[in-house]
Amino acid sequence: MTRARPWLWLQLVIGWLPIWALYTMMIVAAHPGSDRWRAVLIAQRAIGAAALLGFLVYRATLRFPWPARFRITFVGFHLVAATVYSVAWIALTSAIESVVRGAVVLVVSPSGPLPSLILGIWLYVMVAGVAYASQATARAARAETLAARSQLAALRAQLNPHFLFNALHTVVQLIPREPKRAGAAAEQVAALLRTAVEEDRDLLPIAEEWAFVERYLTIERIRFGDRLTARMTLLPGTERALVPSFALQTLVENAVRHGAAPRTEGTAIEVDARRVGSVLEITVRDDGVGADPVAIEHRGTGLRRLRERLTALWGSQAALKISTAPTGGFTATLTIPFLDDEP
């Protein structure tokens, strides 16, 4: 808040500068041969008074927001308020000039009070218009933020069951062959489900995400045994990095599904995270049978949902690239802005 306040004051000053210059030129034009520096000071005091009263106009726009439908009472209020503002501006400017000059002065146009009254109304309309436009922009930004949050929540809700169904499938396969192990696996799935349901964060520390992945891999190892290994390497500077929830899990599950599941040999999954300037780069690779990236994109929903979440979070600042080598193995590279989870 303390950083934003000086910038707000700077914007207000810059906004009134053209009005100050215009009013100065009006004084010079109305009084040919007058001292221009004196005209500048008079204009400064007059426009300063207008800006001061402008805060009351801003408060009025908050109290009487722009209606969704046209209302005559809204127009009537601002007609009265504009007139009151104009009279107050003339009175305040006259009072300031009277104090400066040491004599009672009425600051109006040489043509009479009507042009000054109209100018005051025009200033009111300008301030009110800018205030309503600013409020509309703020409302649009809030609506966009809420929409983005709703979209993220929906995508997260769609992503969570994706791996849970696979885990339940593993349990079902164990029931006829090893009932005891199936019972233990069911308890692990329940714990995994509890975490998935309770997790409502869009971003979380990478260490927490990996802990969740390891619990998922524990269930998968019931099916694969020693044929499935996984390792994660966090390079210096990435220990507290924030990642989208379930992002790592989605990529690891993809490696299990397309790399380990189709083969009888062992499969190793390696996860590396490194910081490159302001970017966090996470690579998930396996030495499995490999797969066609295009086919994977079209068959599954996990990667597609993850891409949609990345777009909702960061737009074009985030990317997910997948590739497979001719000799086998699958690689997914996630690139996101680096955000540090400060302790």
pLDDT value for 320: 93
Which of 142, 169, 187 marks a domain boundary?
Answer: 142
- 272-320 pLDDT, tens per residue? 999 998 999 999 998 877 766 676 666 656 788 788 888 878 888 899 9
Residue range of the domain that includes 288: 201-337
Please report, as a single letter, which amino acid is at residue 256: V
Whole-number Å distance between alpha carbons of 308 and 312: 6
Cα angle 125, 38, 10; round to 5: 50
In a domain, 60, yes or no: yes
Cβ–Cβ < 8 Å for 319, 310: yes
For residue 226, what are the β-bridge partners?
none
The number of domains in the chain is 2
Q: 245 with 134, same domain?
A: no
Cβ–Cβ < 8 Å for 20, 39: no
Query: Average pLDDT by consecutive 10-residue portion of the chain (343 residues)?
Result: 50 77 84 81 89 90 82 91 94 92 85 87 90 81 62 53 68 81 81 74 88 85 83 88 88 83 83 92 87 65 80 86 80 92 60
Q: 93 with 8, same domain?
A: yes
In a domain, 64, yes or no: yes
Write the burial class of residue 218 (CB in 10 Å: 0-12 exposed, 13-18 middle, 19+ buried).
middle
In a domain, 175, yes or no: no
Q: 133 with 219, same domain?
A: no
Whole-number Å distance between alpha carbons of 235 and 30: 72
In a domain, 104, yes or no: yes
Helix (H, G, I), strand (E, B) or coil at 292: coil
Q: 124 with 246, same domain?
A: no
In a domain, 161, yes or no: no
In a domain, 180, yes or no: no
Whole-number Å distance between alpha carbons of 194 and 222: 20
- Looking up tokens 């995400």 gives 209
Percent of the chain as helix, strand, coil, to the nearest 5: 65, 15, 20
For residue 322, what are the β-bridge partners?
332
Whole-number Å distance between alpha carbons of 53 and 88: 8
pLDDT value for 1: 39
Residue 249 is part of a domain; what is its CATH number?
3.30.565.10
pLDDT value for 295: 65
Q: 232 with 309, same domain?
A: yes
Residue 261: DSSP 8-state: T
pLDDT value for 4: 44
Which of 114, 142, 170 marks a domain boundary?
Answer: 142
Whole-number Å distance between alpha carbons of 299 and 309: 18
In a domain, 307, yes or no: yes
Tokens encoding 115: 């042009």
- Looking up tokens 């439908």 gives 69
- 236-264 pLDDT, tens per residue? 889 889 998 888 988 988 888 877 777 77
